[in-house]
A and B are shown apart, each in its own frame.
Chain A
Amino acid sequence: MYSQVAQLLKILNSEASANQISMAIVLGLFVGFSPLMSLHCILIFLIACITRVNLTVFFLAATGFTLLGLLLSTLAVSLGEGLLLAPSLAGLWTELYQFDAMRLMRINHTLVLGSFVVAAVAAVPVFFLSRYLVDTYRHSIMDWVNSLRVVKLLKATNFFQDHLS
């Protein structure tokens, strides 16, 4: 926990752009909400690796959204159930089910689909909210935070000096 807070402070204080950080959070959102190992998780991990998003933020976000995903699982299952069993969408799902890629993504699993839809709906707001918060932090709060005694103590620790400075 201590190291995660230190890492987060380091990133927020770094030169990494707000877009890189926000995109990492959004990608973490998708992976964190996905309950099972599936193709879209691997694809998102690949995207996180080859794009210049901040990997540390990606992993931190994935961890955080996994915990949130557990809390929202009942809602996600209901949403997935409703979508998969909707008569009007039966044709679409049946068509998609014929593709191996779709099966590998487990779109026919109520929790996977529900969580994916929740993540997709939340992605854009989360992106802009993250970017706004990072910008706000850097312009208004960063100096104040850096002046805090606890932050100074944190920065003075061996761990911060050795790994994050």
Chain B
Amino acid sequence: MQWIRWSGLSVFALVSIIFALLWLLVAPWLVEWSIESSGEKLFGAKVELDSVELSLSPLGLDLIDLQVADKALPMQNVFSFEHATASIEFVPLIMAKFISPEMTISGLRVGGQRDSSGALDGQSVSRNDSEQTEEISSEDVMPSMKIPSVSEVLETEPLKTLELADKFETNFKDSRAKLKNIVASFPSEAQLKAYEKELKSITEGKIKNLADFQQRKARFDALRKEIKQAKNLVSEAREVLEDGTDLLKENYELIKSAPSEDLAYLREKYSLNGAGLSNFAQLLAGGDTGATVAKVLRYYEMISPMLTSSAESDSGQADTQSSSQEPEEDTSIVSEGRYVYFESDRPVPDFWIKQLSIAYVDERAEDLVNHFEIQVLDISGQQDVTNKPTSFKVESDRQLNRDLRLSGELDHRNNSVRDRFELVMQGWPLGNINLGSGDVSMSSALVNMDASAAIDGDKLGAKADARLSQVSFKLPPGENSIAGSLSGVLSKVDQFSVDSIAKGSLAGTSTDIDVSIKSDLDSKLGQAFKGQVSEEFVKLEKKLEKKLIEKVAGSTGEYQQYADELSNSKELLSQSDGALDTLLSQKLDAFKDQQKDALKDKLSEKLKGLF
């Protein structure tokens, strides 16, 4: 029997062709679906791709009109592009792996408004960076330039003096009421004399017989009980008085120092000495600069995980044989398996764009159009497989003697993070930059900057030295003398430098980063304000001081008189206590002796009768 069936070849060819045609028919839809669904998983917001076109010779993809919405700002995009062309390697594609030797993007836009919300269904919208930065800038960074009135300050500020004064008044009233009750209840001088008289009548004269003795004893016991009660009352009164006195004394000491502490606080808050406004570096940390830094950090936090885990295949986690770390067991791996990668000169990760070229035009400002060439190499979520870090460089077109170069490397191999960034700017024009306080902005400047940042693990270290020239500030109209002074000083500033250092951890929030910004403008502003402390502020400070002292005086004015009263009451209590002690001890002893003598006499008389 002949084993070969040559007609079977045509069957095989027919089936193969049917499969290929089906694949070609379905592939664009599959690519579109996989880009949108995996993109939405990565960005946490809508990813919309208008269409995908597949070309066979050479094998490639055209992606048309992609929009990636911003999770935090659903009505804005993170980025969008009009057209992307990617060449694709055929063999890996059969293995369901996307490897593109070259990809170009045109019509890239960073940010930009959307027609409809980009929030995924059922997803809550988080607060955006600019809101947060705005809050920081207006509350913490820039001291207010509006001079408040004395009554405004007293009404709105949590001043210690006011709080302590109210507390003192309450305690004072309580203490006074208690003292009044005590004075009314403890034994008067007449009462003490009455006790003395009664005691005398009990103990004077001879005891006639047993009945007389018993009668006297009963009277003595009753009197002693009454004196003891009076003594207890005096002791209680003494304790209450001493407690009240201590509390008032303590409050009094606190309230005496409160006005100076409050004034120091108000001085700092409202920059009464002008020092707050001299810290120009703080201004730079707020406003647009702060918002940009927050946005960059957010994008980094968005991109960073994609380089280490985004390209896990559907069938399980990727792993390299060279990696010493044992893969984690998970149920999908146990039942569906996973790829194990081996060292190779031609690695095949699940996803890899070897070279991405982007022509980017930044035309945010009307009179400022910047052309950038962006090149990103080795974009993959499996750097351990490609054995290459993702690197990028951004270069401006160097028109009009200006230049911007940003380069970096994101190395997430071997389960560690080693990222590096370098930025060089030469004569780079800045657009209008809001400086953290609503109306203060730097309308134009040219910047020369050398900046670098490194992230090792979750530790960030960054340094930036900038020199700004041809600076022009835009300030609010001089509502008060401080704004006027600031305007006066800044209008004369043509150039200044800013040096900043940032260190911290990226594991938590951006507030874990310690940022130090210094500028030579600080001293210029400081000197200017030193000699120009506004009279208005001095007046306000004096008025506030007067008000606070008046408040203290109003609350504590009667304290000295009351302290004298307390002292007198204490003395009176002490005297009464002493008198009662004397009554209870001395007279009682004498009466006891007399009782003993009487009993002795009685006994001897009875004994005489017997003998």
By the criterion CB–CB under 8 Å, are A111 and B344 in contact?
no
Which of A2-10, A97-105, A118-126, A156-164 binds B? Answer: A97-105
Chain B hits for A17, CB < 8 A: 1
**Do A104 and B94 form a contact, CB below 8 Å, given A50-B5, A97-B342, A97-B344?**
yes
Is B59 an interface residue, CB under 8 A from the partner?
no
Is A152 an interface residue, CB under 8 A from the partner?
no
By the criterion CB–CB under 8 Å, are A80 and B337 in contact?
yes
Is A90 an interface residue, CB under 8 A from the partner?
yes
By the criterion CB–CB under 8 Å, are A103 and B95 in contact?
yes
Chain A hits for B346, CB < 8 A: 98
By the criterion CB–CB under 8 Å, are A103 and B91 in contact?
yes
Q: How far is the CA of A38 from the CA of B94 in the complex (A)?
A: 8
Q: How far is the CA of A111 from the CA of B333 in the complex (A)?
A: 9
Is B340 an interface residue, CB under 8 A from the partner?
yes
User: What residue in chain B is nearest A95 (Cβ atoms)?
Assistant: B342
Chain A hits for B337, CB < 8 A: 35, 73, 76-77, 80-81, 109-112, 114
* A residues 133-165 in Cβ contact with B at 8 Å: none
Is A128 an interface residue, CB under 8 A from the partner?
no
Chain B hits for A13, CB < 8 A: none
- In this complex, the member of B321, B344, B348 whose beta carbon has the largest number of chain A beta carbons within 10 angstroms is B321
Is B338 an interface residue, CB under 8 A from the partner?
yes
Is A1 an interface residue, CB under 8 A from the partner?
no
Question: Which of A73, A93, A100 is in CB contact (< 8 Å) with B335?
Answer: A73
- Measured CB to CB, the closest approach of chain B to A127, in angstroms, equals 15
By the criterion CB–CB under 8 Å, are B3 and A84 in contact?
no
**Do A110 and B338 form a contact, CB below 8 Å, given A51-B4, A103-B91, A104-B94?**
yes
What sequence of 0s and 1s flags, for each residue 343-385 of chain B, a beta carbon within 8 Å of any chain A beta carbon? Answer: 1111010000000000000000000000000000000000000
Chain A hits for B15, CB < 8 A: 45, 49
Interface of A is mostly: helix
Chain A hits for B344, CB < 8 A: 94, 97-98
By the criterion CB–CB under 8 Å, are A93 and B6 in contact?
no
Chain A hits for B95, CB < 8 A: 38, 103-104, 106
* A residues 27-66 in Cβ contact with B at 8 Å: 35-36, 38-39, 42, 45-46, 48-52
Chain B hits for A98, CB < 8 A: 344-346
Q: How far is the CA of A80 from the CA of B496 in the complex (A)?
A: 66
- Measured CB to CB, the closest approach of chain A to B198, in angstroms, equals 105
By the criterion CB–CB under 8 Å, are A108 and B315 in contact?
no
Is B22 an interface residue, CB under 8 A from the partner?
no
Is A68 an interface residue, CB under 8 A from the partner?
no
Chain A hits for B8, CB < 8 A: 48-51
Chain B hits for A94, CB < 8 A: 321, 342-344
**Do A93 and B321 form a contact, CB below 8 Å, given A45-B15, A104-B95?**
yes
Chain B hits for A90, CB < 8 A: 321, 342
User: What residue in chain B is nearest A52 (Cβ atoms)?
Assistant: B5
User: What residue in chain A is nearest B333 (Cβ atoms)?
Assistant: A77
By the criterion CB–CB under 8 Å, are A74 and B339 in contact?
no
Number of interface residues of A (CB under 8 A): 37
User: What residue in chain B is nearest A77 (Cβ atoms)?
Assistant: B337
- In this complex, the member of B2, B12, B346 whose beta carbon has the largest number of chain A beta carbons within 10 angstroms is B12
By the criterion CB–CB under 8 Å, are B336 and A73 in contact?
yes
Chain A hits for B43, CB < 8 A: none
By the criterion CB–CB under 8 Å, are A103 and B348 in contact?
yes
Chain B hits for A52, CB < 8 A: 1-5
Is A67 an interface residue, CB under 8 A from the partner?
no
Chain A hits for B3, CB < 8 A: 51-52
Q: How far is the CA of A93 from the CA of B5 in the complex (A)?
A: 35
- Measured CB to CB, the closest approach of chain B to A147, in angstroms, equals 30
Q: How far is the CA of A74 from the CA of B340 in the complex (A)?
A: 16
Is A129 an interface residue, CB under 8 A from the partner?
no
**Do A77 and B91 form a contact, CB below 8 Å, given A49-B12, A52-B3?**
no
By the criterion CB–CB under 8 Å, are A109 and B2 in contact?
no
Chain A hits for B335, CB < 8 A: 73-74, 77
Is B9 an interface residue, CB under 8 A from the partner?
yes
By the criterion CB–CB under 8 Å, are A85 and B91 in contact?
no
Q: How far is the CA of A50 from the CA of B6 in the complex (A)?
A: 6
Chain B hits for A80, CB < 8 A: 337
- Measured CB to CB, the closest approach of chain B to A55, in angstroms, equals 8
Question: Which of A36, A45, A108 is in CB contact (< 8 Å) with B340?
Answer: A108
Q: How far is the CA of A109 from the CA of B342 in the complex (A)?
A: 11
Is B11 an interface residue, CB under 8 A from the partner?
yes
- Measured CB to CB, the closest approach of chain A to B120, in angstroms, equals 30
* B residues 154-168 in Cβ contact with A at 8 Å: none
Chain A hits for B26, CB < 8 A: none
User: What residue in chain A is nearest B10 (Cβ atoms)?
Assistant: A49
Q: How far is the CA of A42 from the CA of B11 in the complex (A)?
A: 13
Q: How far is the CA of A51 from the CA of B348 in the complex (A)?
A: 34
**Do A51 and B315 form a contact, CB below 8 Å, given A97-B344, A103-B348?**
no
Question: Which of A46, A97, A104 is in CB contact (< 8 Å) with B12?
Answer: A46
Chain A hits for B316, CB < 8 A: 110
CB<8 Å pairs between A and B, sample of 30: A35-B337, A42-B16, A46-B12, A48-B8, A49-B8, A50-B5, A50-B9, A52-B2, A52-B3, A73-B336, A73-B337, A74-B335, A76-B337, A77-B333, A77-B334, A77-B335, A80-B337, A85-B321, A94-B321, A94-B344, A97-B341, A97-B344, A98-B345, A98-B346, A100-B91, A103-B91, A104-B91, A109-B315, A109-B338, A110-B337
Taking beta carbons and an 8 Å cutoff, which residues of B are in contact with A? 1-6, 8-9, 11-12, 15-16, 91, 94-95, 315-316, 321, 333-346, 348
**Which 8 pairs from chain A and chain B are nearest by CB?**
A111-B337, A49-B8, A110-B337, A49-B12, A97-B342, A50-B8, A84-B340, A94-B342
Taking beta carbons and an 8 Å cutoff, which residues of A are in contact with B? 17, 35-36, 38-39, 42, 45-46, 48-52, 73-74, 76-78, 80-81, 84-85, 90, 93-94, 97-98, 100, 103-104, 106, 108-112, 114
Contacts beyond the supplied A17-B1, A45-B15, A52-B3: 8 A-B pairs with Cβ under 8 Å: A50-B5, A74-B335, A78-B334, A81-B340, A97-B342, A97-B344, A106-B339, A110-B333
